[in-house]
Amino acid sequence: METVSENRAFGGVQGVYKHHSHSCHCDMTFGLFLPEEARDGPVPLLWYLSGLTCTHENAMVKAGAQQWAAEQGIAIVFPDTSPRGEGVADDEAYDLGQGAGFYVNATQKPWAPHFNMWDYIAEDLPSFLQEEFPIDMSRQSICGHSMGGHGALTLAMALPGRFRSVSAFAPIANPTAAEWGRKQLRAYLGDDEAAWAAHDSSVLMRDKGFDGPLLIDVGSDDQFIDLLRPEALAGAITERRQPATFRLQKGYDHSYFFVSTFMEDHVAFHAEALYAD
- What is the DSSP code string of 229-246? -HHHHHHHHHHHT---EE
The Cα diameter of the chain in Å comes to: 51
Distance CA 212, CA 192 (A): 31
CA-to-CA dists, residue 43 to 39, 72, 139, 167, 269, angstroms: 9, 10, 8, 20, 16
Rounded Cα distance between 214 and 78, Å, is 20
Give the integer Cα–Cα distance in Å for 221 and 174.
19
Asked whether 144 and 81 are in contact (CB, 8 A), the reply is no
* Catalytic machinery residues: 146, 222, 254
